[in-house]
Amino acid sequence: MTQRMLSIIIVGARGRMGTALIREVMDSEDMTLGACVDRSGGPGIGQDAGRLAGGPDIGVLVTDELRPRRGSVVVDFSLPNATEARIRACVEQGIPLIIGTTGLSEEDDKLLVEAGQSIPIVYAANFSVGVTLLLQLAGVAAAALGPDWEAELFELHHRFKRDAPSGTALRIGQAVADATGRKFSEAVMTDRASLRRAREKQEIGVFGLRGGDSPGEHTLMFLGEGERIELTHRAGDRAIFARGALRAARWAASQPPGLYDMVDVLGLRE
């Protein structure tokens, strides 16, 4: 893949991540924009992708139909209601898929596992290199501190984000649960307002804040008697997620079939 330009197909081109991805590909020396796709009937269909991203025309028009070609990698940050169709299209053509869509259903998760038997897929709630390291540190810290330390997590995103808590926050909470032998679905607490009781020992608090234009902030706190540890990641620019997703695309282009995440991309898997 280092001998030729890697063709990137962006799905969800009109979104914040989509336009960030277009700009990063346009600035890349080893990638080319193969196609840009967005939802049917939406504004911007037929517009030049370069102009959509605030740059010059590049001769790639935004369409409403995904037609993946061999030798390409699909990078999908669209809405979850179209995820099944995107996965099946990539499987049919045998091309890698990078997917950052959050809020997927259990059926979508099962389909990803199934599709990973045929094509390389990198699925992550957050493609930031820093957040990937935070996930690793969360597990290490939770295991070292033990059950006497309580874990609480809050995240902040821009006012337009639809899901709360964020997929990344839930992944961090999952890492804490895995490291301490807890079942996350039973330990997670996202709303204490109506409980009217003290915090229970096994809880992992995960809470979402919405407002402003923040691309994403996550703070994990471990609270003990007389001391507190905080692990924080703040994203200042959405471009960091685009760069991480394209790093995953480069990596996936030469990988065998499998369902991967950014831990695999960064070579941190034990």
Backbone angles phi, psi at 123, to 5 degrees: -115, 125
CA distance 189 to 174: 12
Does the annotation list 124 as a binding residue? Answer: yes
Does the annotation list 15 as a binding residue? Answer: yes
- Torsion, CA 192, CA 194, CA 196, CA 199, rounded to 10: -20
Q: Which residues are catalytic, by number?
A: 157, 161
| C-beta atoms surrounding 265 within 10 Å | 24
Does the annotation list 35 as a binding residue? Answer: no
Does the annotation list 167 as a binding residue? Answer: yes
* Residue 126: Cβ-neighbour burial (10 angstroms; 0-12, 13-18, 19+): buried
CA distance 106 to 153: 24
CA distance 256 to 119: 7
Does the annotation list 233 as a binding residue? Answer: no
Does the annotation list 31 as a binding residue? Answer: no
Does the annotation list 86 as a binding residue? Answer: no
Which residue in this structure is represented by tokens 């269909």? Answer: 45
Does the annotation list 221 as a binding residue? Answer: no
Does the annotation list 101 as a binding residue? Answer: yes
Residues forming the annotated binding site for (S)-2,3,4,5-tetrahydrodipicolinate? 158, 167-168
Residues forming the annotated binding site for NAD(+)? 12-17, 100-102, 124-127
Residues forming the annotated binding site for NADP(+)? 51
Residues forming the annotated binding site? 12-17, 51, 100-102, 124-127, 158, 167-168
